[in-house]
């Protein structure tokens, strides 16, 4: 059942047009990724679908009765009430009855019969709407998002930005919507919670449209990929990883079609110029009519072309000593909770260390101790090596002054840069035109992140501490940063929950979890594999226990044919093969027709010259020649018509 129809939607006018001709649909059970570079309008399109703003053209139709839930990046959670109240805020009637029950319980403490009767009525009303069951369900959802039972009683106003993000996500998920719109849902989630969210979304029956820069998340959750461009939306029936390869194949094919059409048009126009006033006037006029009917093709839009014009290049730095950092006995606690104790670490030049763990486990605190040394109640020591040039990227972007322009930020680090030099440098980070002159307070999260990285790369560094550097980067920017770090000759510490990023960058993993710091000598892929294997082993006793409880004998094995995926793949291959054969046949016929037309026109010219001559009394021969000329002319005209039709078809293949 289709729940969403988007038809020829346009947003903006003239030079301010963001996108146009956006058309697609979503049905129950379909899960699609909406991808495009930052600034292309992904969030705007989600707002249009959610009904928060209206399109400037086209239509957005949500099936009547469809429940829509929308998770925004802005985390606009009302700062009143408790966390549990916020989770239940989408169920107004239940929340109101819960408050009435709470008030009745307080009054019942007086012990009056009236108060006790009121409590009974309140309890009965709450049970009628399954309030207890909903409360248990919401509590389990909250626990999966990192909120403990105690957290549910906390006032919303006491939550951090990251906690508010998780709360808003929980409020949206609790609605069990028919159409779920998610805008960057993983930005404030740790790896375990992302894993839970992937399984949760995959098990939901509703339709899903999600914007995310987390490539592993998109591959795990979505089965379709919608690519948003300025000239429309392209749909690919595959997850993100397969889309990357498929789009390149399709773009190459479409460019080839455009090239072939342009070559065909050029060749036809050349024929028309040469023959419009000669003996082949009829053929030239026919081809001119054919050209007038052709729908001229544009080169396909490559939405990632500008996004990939980004250069993260580290300035050459002096070589550091072989021993970069040595930490001994590091311990830290925050808010009366021990984060880790007695951590010792030895880091050598060239290592790229990924730091992972749940939110609040102490990852950022560990980085702070390594960069600034223990403070206050912290314990231990940190000894830095020789000849170090340290660079720090703060996930909160505290190193960016929002009151300055981007160019002023660059010149605050490099006072020797002229305005023109600063603009030239910022162009490497996709700040073009007047972007360098804009005040940073008006920048998006992605733009601020690119500016912070631009400042970091201005001066030589050989030791980097990066805290969630990809949080607001689009996919091309994250991939280009990966390449730059993989080729960086210095030493790197990086905190991240982006699995693909960690796989590409980290040569060693530090895990901070449950008051413990563990070390894994291999890269992220090996760490993640061992982590999942350990989890499977822990769950194995539960599985065996479940099997013992199952007294039913296993079903007898049955003969099966090839898997459905294999059959579908074979059918797809056969269809592609047949289509290619048909295309090749058309091409051969098109070439043959050109030769037939050329030979026929030459023969017609010879016949017509003969007809001009004196028949010398042989009128029978003349009559036969006239009949043959008319038949050949009709045949050549038929060849030209067929050639014209095939030319149009091949140009559109």
Angle between helices 564-612 and 619-652 (to 10 degrees): 150
Residue with the larger pLDDT of the pair 432 and 128: 432
Query: Mean pLDDT, the chain, as a whole number?
Result: 85
Residue with the larger pLDDT of the pair 82 and 60: 60
Residue with the larger pLDDT of the pair 542 and 306: 306
Does residue 66 register a pLDDT over 90? Answer: yes
Q: What are 250's two structure tokens?
A: 């399709």
What's the gap between Cα 343 and its chain centre? 37
Does residue 461 register a pLDDT over 70? Answer: yes
What is the pLDDT confidence band of residue 572, given thresholds at 50, 70 and 90?
A: low
Which range among 57-61, 348-352, 635-639 shows the weakest confidence by mean pLDDT?
635-639
What is the pLDDT confidence band of residue 75, given thresholds at 50, 70 and 90?
A: low
Does residue 544 register a pLDDT over 70? Answer: no
Return the pLDDT at 220. Answer: 94
**pLDDT tens per residue across span 473-500:** 889 989 999 999 988 999 999 999 999 9
Read off the pLDDT of each residue in 238-266 and give the average, rounded to a whole number: 90
Read off the pLDDT of each residue in 332-342 and give the average, rounded to a whole number: 90
Single pTM value for the model:
0.75
Read off the pLDDT of each residue in 227-238 and give the average, rounded to a whole number: 94
Give CA–CA dist 167/414, Å, rounded: 41
Read off the pLDDT of each residue in 41-67 and give the average, rounded to a whole number: 94
Three-state DSSP at 319 gives: coil
Does residue 507 register a pLDDT over 70? Answer: yes
Kindly report the backbone phi and psi dihedral angles of residue 284, in degrees, each rounded to the nearest multiple of 5, phi listed first. Answer: -65, -45
Express as a percent the part of the chain with pLDDT over 70.
89
Task: Give per-residue burial for 461-487: e unless 16+ CB within 10 Å, then b.
Answer: bbbbbbbbbbbbbbbbbbbbbbebbee
Give CA–CA dist 346/357, Å, rounded: 20
**pLDDT tens per residue across span 264-287:** 889 888 888 888 877 678 888 888
Residue 375 CB neighbours (<10 A) = 9
What is the pLDDT confidence band of residue 607, given thresholds at 50, 70 and 90?
A: confident
Task: Give per-residue burial for 109-148: e unless 16+ CB within 10 Å, then b.
Answer: eeeeeebeebbeebbebbeeeebeebbeebbebbebbbbe
What's the gap between Cα 443 and its chain centre? 21
Which range among 133-137, 540-544, 569-573 shows the weakest confidence by mean pLDDT?
569-573
């Amino acid at each position: 059942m289709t729940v969403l129809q988007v038809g020829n939607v346009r947003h903006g006018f003239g030079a301010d047009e963001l996108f146009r001709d956006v058309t697609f649909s979503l049905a129950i059970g379909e899960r699609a990724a909406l991808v495009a570079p930052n600034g292309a309008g992904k969030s705007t399109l989600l707002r249009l679908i959610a009904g928060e703003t209206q399109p400037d053209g086209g239509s957005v139709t949500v099936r009547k009765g469809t429940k829509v839930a929308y998770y925004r990046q802005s985390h606009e959670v009302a700062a009143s009430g408790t966390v549990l109240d916020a989770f239940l805020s989408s169920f107004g009637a239940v929340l109101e009855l819960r408050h009435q029950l709470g008030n009745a319980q307080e009054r019942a403490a007086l012990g009056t019969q009236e108060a006790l009767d009121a409590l009974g009525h309140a309890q009965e009303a709450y049970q009628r709407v399954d309030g207890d069951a909903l409360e248990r369900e919401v509590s389990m959802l909250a626990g999966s998002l990192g909120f403990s039972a105690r957290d549910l009683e906390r006032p919303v106003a006491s939550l951090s930005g990251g906690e508010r993000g998780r709360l808003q996500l929980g409020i949206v998920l609790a609605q069990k919507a028919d159409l779920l719109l998610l805008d960057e849902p993983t930005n404030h989630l740790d790896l375990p919670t992302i894993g839970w969210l992937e399984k949760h979304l995959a098990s939901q029956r509703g339709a899903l449209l999600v914007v995310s820069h987390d490539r592993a998340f998109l591959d795990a959750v979505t089965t379709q990929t919608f690519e948003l461009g300025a000239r429309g939306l392209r749909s690919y029936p595959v997850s993100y990883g397969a889309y990357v390869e498929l789009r390149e194949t399709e773009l190459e094919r479409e460019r080839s079609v455009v090239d072939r059409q342009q070559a065909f048009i050029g060749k036809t126009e050349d024929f028309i110029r040469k023959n419009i006033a000669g003996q082949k006037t009829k053929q030239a006029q026919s081809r001119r009519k054919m050209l007038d009917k052709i729908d001229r093709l544009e080169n396909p839009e490559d939405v990632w072309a500008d996004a990939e014009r980004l250069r993260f290049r580290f300035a050459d730095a002096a070589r550091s000593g072989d021993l970069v950092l040595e930490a001994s006995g590091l311990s830290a606690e925050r808010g009366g909770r021990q984060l880790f104790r007695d951590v010792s670490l030895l880091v050598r030049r060239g290592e790229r260390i990924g730091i992972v763990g749940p939110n609040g486990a102490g990852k950022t605190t560990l980085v702070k101790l390594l960069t600034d040394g223990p403070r206050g109640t912290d314990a231990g020591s940190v000894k830095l090596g020789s000849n170090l040039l340290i660079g720090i990227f703060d996930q909160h972007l505290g190193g960016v002054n929002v009151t300055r322009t981007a160019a002023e930020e660059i010149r605050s680090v490099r006072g020797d840069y002229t305005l023109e030099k600063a603009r030239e440098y910022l162009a490497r980070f996709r700040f073009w035109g007047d972007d360098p002159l804009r005040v940073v307070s008006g920048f998006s999260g992605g733009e601020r992140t690119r500016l912070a990285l631009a400042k970091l790369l201005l001066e030589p560094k050989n030791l980097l501490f990066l805290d969630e550097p990809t949080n607001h980067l689009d996919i091309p920017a994250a991939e280009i940063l990966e390449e730059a770090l993989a080729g960086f000759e210095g030493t790197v510490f990086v905190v991240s929950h982006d699995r693909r990023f960690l796989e590409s960058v980290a040569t060693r993993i530090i895990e901070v979890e449950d008051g413990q710091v563990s070390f894994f000598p291999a890269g992220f892929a090996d760490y993640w594999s061992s982590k999942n294997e350990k989890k499977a082993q822990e769950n194995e006793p539960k599985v065996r226990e479940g099997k013992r409880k199952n007294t039913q004998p296993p079903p007898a094995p049955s003969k099966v044919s090839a898997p459905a995926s294999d059959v579908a793949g074979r059918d797809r291959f056969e269809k592609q093969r047949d289509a290619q054969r048909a295309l090749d046949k058309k091409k051969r016929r098109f070439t043959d027709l050109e030769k037939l037309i050329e030979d026929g026109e030459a023969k017609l010219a010879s016949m017509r010259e003969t007809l001009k001559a004196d028949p010398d009394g042989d009128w029978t021969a003349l009559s036969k020649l006239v009949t043959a000329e008319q038949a050949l002319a009709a045949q050549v005209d038929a060849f030209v018509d067929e050639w014209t039709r095939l030319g149009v078809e091949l140009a559109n293949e």
